[in-house]
Amino acid sequence: MKRLWWVIGIIGIVIAGVVVGRPLWAREAAPPAASLESLPVAGSSDGFARATEPNAIQFPRDLGPHDDYQTEWWYYTGNLKTADGRPFGFQFTIFRRALAPEEELSADWANSADSEEPLKSAESAQSADQTSSWRTEQVYLAHFTISDIAADAFYPAERFSRGAAGLAGATADPYRVWLEEWSVEEIAPGQVRLRAQTGDVALDLMLTETRPPVLHGDSGLSQKGPEPGNASYYYSLIGQRAAGAVTVGGQRFDVTGQAWKDHEWSTSALSDGAVGWDWISLQMDDGGALMLFEIRRADGTREPLSAGTYIAPDGTLTHLAAGDWTLDVTDTWTSPTSGGEYPAGWRIAVPAVGLELTGRPQMANQELNVSTVYWEGAVAFEGTRDGAPVSAEGYIELTGYAGSMEGRL
């Protein structure tokens, strides 16, 4: 599920040209302001491709970008420990958002090139040829967080750029996704290197695949609402072995653990009346894994198309409809920054696979106060599967608790 909503905020920030006091285009001069302002912003999803058919995902093709869809993300989280048991969590996500369908943007740029007006304000800065090197219909956003659980310290960061001039982009073969020097890059088949740094906080990990991709929903088609095409293509890589280093406060810690990857692309929005969602990914010590997403409605009910996937230790998939599981909140936490009241304890039951779990955040304050406010952090659960003890670690994302997400992508 997830993350369709905050990328809409990229557009205004990109056109404004500044994020957190730094230029968006950190390495090269920006194109003329008139050219930025003339970029057509897609207020609707007309003209974009839609996810409508199952069995559409193919590898390695679909490791890369899908520019004909409006929104896409490559999402990594993980639970890490040092040799002496000090725990860390991380999130690293790169989002792509299309400003307009390619053919529409190409026409608008062509019209702009024929007009003298956009270039008048730029004559002293760039030639028309230089301006065209910044031409793009794609904007990228990245979020990077470290949870230093032992120190009860949370480090969030955010970046934006356009998908031009080499500043940000994605390729399928070889697999690479980047925004400036933040990147995930294929090193060898089934192995990637993930790198991000901001100030004295950094992440440098090697992730190694151990299991085949998990296709969620109907063979990779994940329905998000009743409307035709209100769906995404969605797969995960679970059980990735992680090894490398976390740096906080300038101090480096060698770590190992496991990671989870989501890759999702779509042209869709929350249905009318939906205000946010809870997304859960858990990896269990018996080799099983669980993904759930619950779309919350303004009247307090669950969107009927909320769903999930249970992955058994032997790899068998059980696709879960909304009525196949329960998610009860057992505690809450109120952010001192946003005032949002978030779930901070959960009880999960999936009777069809004999799973019962209870869990909590590994630290309370894992709220990102960035272009959109939300909570996403490391969690730990314990319980039973078919009566046998099981424990799990993972990540939970909570949106719409510090302001409704209704109407957002």
Three-state DSSP at 117 gives helix
DSSP assignment letter at 112: H
pLDDT, position 228: 83
267 burial class (0-12, 13-18, 19+ CB within 10 angstroms)?
A: buried
Q: Which amino acid is at 273?
A: G
Q: Are 274 and 319 in contact (CB under 8 A)?
A: no
Structure-model confidence comparison of residues 119 and 276, the more confident one: 276
Q: Is the pLDDT of residue 32 over 70?
A: no
Q: How far apart are CA 318 and CA 310, in angstroms?
A: 5
Three-state DSSP at 91 gives strand
Q: Which amino acid is at 292?
A: L
Compute how many other C-beta atoms are within 10 angstroms of the C-beta atom of residue 226: 10
pLDDT, position 44: 67
Confidence of residue 225 (pLDDT cuts 50, 70, 90): confident
Confidence of residue 377 (pLDDT cuts 50, 70, 90): very high
Q: Tell which residue, 395, 184, 139, has the closest CA to residue 278.
A: 395
Instruction: For residue range 3-17, list pLDDT tens digits in order.
Output: 544 454 444 444 444
In whole numbers, what is the pLDDT of the chain averaged over residues?
85
Q: Is the pLDDT of residue 22 over 70?
A: no
Q: How far apart are CA 320 and CA 369, in angstroms?
A: 32
Q: What's the alpha-carbon Rg for the chain, to the nearest Å?
A: 21
Confidence of residue 278 (pLDDT cuts 50, 70, 90): very high
Instruction: For residue range 80-107, list pLDDT tens digits in order.
Output: 999 999 999 999 999 999 998 876 555 5
Structure-model confidence comparison of residues 224 and 309, the more confident one: 309
Q: Is the pLDDT of residue 26 over 50?
A: no
Task: DSSP for 321-344, please give it.
Answer: -GGG-EEEEEEEEE-TTT--EEEE
Q: How far apart are CA 81 and CA 255, in angstroms?
A: 5
Task: DSSP for 126-144, please give it.
Answer: --HHHHHHT--SEEEEEEE
Instruction: For residue range 119-171, list pLDDT tens digits in order.
Output: 344 344 444 444 566 778 899 999 999 999 999 999 999 999 999 999 999 99
What residue ranges do the domains of the chain occupy?
8-40+68-398
Q: How far apart are CA 259 and CA 80, in angstroms?
A: 8
Q: Which CATH superfamily is domain 8-40+68-398 in?
A: AttH-like domain (2.40.370.10)
328 burial class (0-12, 13-18, 19+ CB within 10 angstroms)?
A: exposed
Question: Phi/psi of residue 131, each to 5°?
Answer: -60, -40
pLDDT, position 103: 64
Beta strands in 48-199 (DSSP E): 71-81, 87-98, 138-148, 153-162, 168-172, 175-179, 182-188, 191-198
Residue 171 CA: distances (Å) to CA of 4, 62, 65, 101, 220: 21, 10, 6, 19, 20
Instruction: For residue range 320-345, list pLDDT tens digits in order.
Output: 999 999 999 999 999 999 999 999 99
Percent with pLDDT over 70 in the chain? 80
Confidence of residue 370 (pLDDT cuts 50, 70, 90): very high
Percent with pLDDT over 90 in the chain? 74
